[in-house]
Amino acid sequence: MNHLFLQSTLRELQVFLHSRRFWGTFAAIVLLFAVTGPYGTMESMAFGERLAYWLTLHAVAWTIAILCAVTAERLLQGVIVSMFARMMAGSLVAALPIGFAIGLVDYAFAGEATTLDSGLQRALFAAPLAPSSAF
């Protein structure tokens, strides 16, 4: 990768980091998940643990999705005309590492070991969700 590509990608990533709307959305989603306790977390975790779990999980998943979306947006500029389509492609690619990252977060919080099968299942589950994390 050349220096200009990395510089351009880092500039685009900074847009996310300095966006109040991004951080507001992130905080609202983490809080929503912590309060509602989806996927059995209401039954298995106290509120503080749920908040830490969902904060960690979303931080990891959003980071992966955004990195993949921004990288794809830059790499596919000459191939795909639509910026939205380029970023969506990157977000969909992000589903695989997100699936395994969820497994690592689950292991850290619940001691559930991740297998290749469970990682791939989580990736399939994350595929439709990953694009929303990048925007």
3-state secondary structure at position 6: helix
pLDDT of residue 35: 97
What is the band of 40 on the pLDDT scale with cuts at 50, 70, 90?
very high
Statement: residue 133 has pLDDT above 60: no
pTM over 0.85? The answer is no
Cα separation of 39 and 58, whole Å? Answer: 14
At 129, the pLDDT band (50, 70, 90 cuts) reads low
Residue pair 97/87 in contact by the 8 Å Cβ criterion: no
pLDDT tens per residue, range 108-125: 998 888 888 888 888 887
Return the pLDDT at 118. Answer: 83
Whether the CB-CB separation of 58 and 33 falls below 8 Å is answered with yes
The count of domains in the chain is: 1
pLDDT digits (tens, 9 = 90+) for 62-82: 899 888 888 888 889 889 898
pLDDT tens for each residue of 3-16: 666 666 667 777 77
pLDDT at 114: 82
Q: Which domain holds residue 46?
A: 3-133
Give residue for tokens 């969820």.
Answer: 102
**Model pLDDT, residue 92:** 85
